[in-house]
Structure 1
Amino acid sequence: MVRDVERTGQSGAAAELALKAALRDRSQATRDGELESESTVRQLGELWLAETDRAVRLGKRSPSTAQQYNYRFDRHVRDGLGALRVRELTVSRLDRLVVEVHDRFGTAAAKTTRTVLSGMIGLAVRYEVLERNLVRDVGRIESATSSARALAIDEPRDLRRKLRADKRCRDWDLVDFMLASGLRIGEGPR
């Protein structure tokens, strides 16, 4: 389909600049019209999440990762940027959202939110709606130094002694399993 585009201006040069801007910003329907520059960020996010869900079904992505992406999109991105048009996204808007999430919810939430935004904007680039992934220029998320450390040689023995004194802990038998396997809390059996 071919559409004529016209723009006017105070002078020929101004009209030409207006025409070039209109052509640059013009909605560019691609891939069956699923996404264009006038689409909302919410629509972009829903399309990206559908792609993520498809990756889960194909075994290319973990279901828990997809759940985390859905949660961060619903909690932060949809409400923070969802009403904007894709063409209205800027590095500063994205950066502001990531900083706000970091300040209110912590480093892990900010990093996952940044990952969600990067995936969404990457999809817009693949659909040729945006020229580049704006999230690349969003500021780094610095985390506080971690206080996590490995147990000293005598600490596991002391922990086992204390836990064996508790009937419920003995019944669960998780401590010995986790100490023997080296698994972290989230990696053990449920």
Structure 2
Amino acid sequence: MPRPPLQIGTWGRISRDEVAPGVWRAMARFRDFDGITRKVEARAASVSKNDRGAKAEQALVAALRDRAMPAGDDITPDTRLNKLAEIWWLEFMDQDRAINTQRRYLEVKDSYVCPGVGGLTIREATVSRLDRFLKATTAKHGAATAKLSKTVLSAMLGLAARHGAIGANPLRDVAKVPVNRKEVRALTLEEAAALRAGLRQWQLDSRPRGRKRPDDLLDVVDVMLATGARIGEALALRWKDVDLKAERPTLTVTGTVIYVPGEGMTIQEHPKSTNSRQRYYLPRLRLRCCSAARFSS
């Protein structure tokens, strides 16, 4: 029966022999990352009669360990999750994600995932260890942070699985993070009417306290009531997104307003999700408001 091959990046039994008086050689078979097994050797002069090649073997082991180290961004079972996180982040940044998504994922990676489990190697990232980490994160920082930490970890270990460093992604088998979802309730017609009346009165107040009150807040609320758009999406609308001359006038959500640290508020040229990119037919009430606003601008 043929001898089984060495694992990639490992070596076999080390042998020693004296190749010249006082000079010893240590040799071993090493299986390189291209799958080829090669002989590696190191030589050293003996320091005493009792040495018998021990110094040569030490030099060989050091050389073999250096040879077994991953080159560049190679991912192996012994890669630590801190290093895996760096490699994954470079790949993630190439995916053209939304600015707020990048910011939040980076915060979770640096503040929770790496401090919590970054010292583990990929082979040590077992279901039980990751499950314990996520439960502790839920208890200390809340379910939302734990759920996002699970998302980041799953993406990282998915990358490790694609590189053959792990057989399967262990995040598939950890317990679900319990999230208490709030019931979504739409305003009744009476509540919507009361909201619009209150806003109109607030805008028309002739003696406001503090900063000058905006005169277009009711328009923003009307867009949200008519379309169901998020407030950031409503604030990001531009006249090029509105077609008042069509047989059935439309409004198209194409972006959202976000805050960028160091820059302030800016328009992101796509909404929060793909499903948010919608075209809505404008009801008559909203059509009159848009026409009036366009005329006054």
Give the TM-score taking structure 2 as reference length: 0.50
Unaligned runs of 5+ in 1: 8-26
Q: 1:86 Cα deviation (Å)?
A: 1.8
User: Contact 1:28 / 1:36 at 8 angstroms: preserved in 2?
Assistant: no
Q: 1:41/1:132 Cα in 2 relative to 1: closer, same or farther (>3 Å)? A: same
Unaligned runs of 5+ in 2: 1-7, 15-66, 204-212, 236-256, 258-297
Counterpart CA distance in 2 for 1:176 and 1:50 is 42
Report what 1:100 is aligned to: 136
Q: Over residues 14-52 of structure 1, what are the superposed CA-to-partner deviations in whole Å (9 max), with x where a residue is unaligned? A: xxxxxxxxxxxxx98778652222221111111111101
Q: Over residues 104-153 of structure 1, what are the superposed CA-to-partner deviations in whole Å (9 max), with x where a residue is unaligned? A: 33332222111111100100101111111000011012222413311122
Give the TM-score taking structure 1 as reference length: 0.75
Whether 1:112 aligns to 2:158 is no
Q: 1:70 Cα deviation (Å)?
A: 1.3
Identity percentage of aligned residues = 35
Q: Over residues 150-172 of structure 1, what are the superposed CA-to-partner deviations in whole Å (9 max), with x where a residue is unaligned? A: 11221111111222222335443
Q: Secondary structure at the match of 1:154?
A: helix
Flag the structure with higher helix content.
Answer: 1
Whether 1:86 aligns to 2:93 is no
Q: 1:2 Cα deviation (Å)?
A: 7.2
Report what 2:89 is aligned to: 49
Count matched residues: 168
Report what 1:149 is aligned to: 185
Report what 1:184 is aligned to: 230
User: Contact 1:122 / 1:133 at 8 angstroms: preserved in 2?
Assistant: yes
Q: Amino acid of the residue matched to residue 35 of structure 1?
A: I
Q: Secondary structure at the match of 2:120?
A: coil
Counterpart CA distance in 2 for 1:186 and 1:31 is 45
Instruction: Say what the alpha-carbon RMSD is for the aligned residues.
Output: 2.8
Q: Secondary structure at the match of 1:129?
A: coil
Report what 2:78 is aligned to: 38
Counterpart CA distance in 2 for 1:148 and 1:169 is 29
Counterpart CA distance in 1 for 2:232 and 2:136 is 27
Point out the structure with max Rg over C-alpha: 2
Report what 2:12 is aligned to: 5
Q: Amino acid of the residue matched to residue 12 of structure 2?
A: V
Flag the structure with higher strand content.
Answer: 2
Mean alpha-carbon deviation: is it higher for 67-76 or for 180-189?
A: 180-189
Q: Secondary structure at the match of 1:140?
A: coil
Whether 1:66 aligns to 2:102 is yes
Report what 2:162 is aligned to: 126
Q: Secondary structure at the match of 2:119?
A: coil
Q: Secondary structure at the match of 1:120?
A: helix
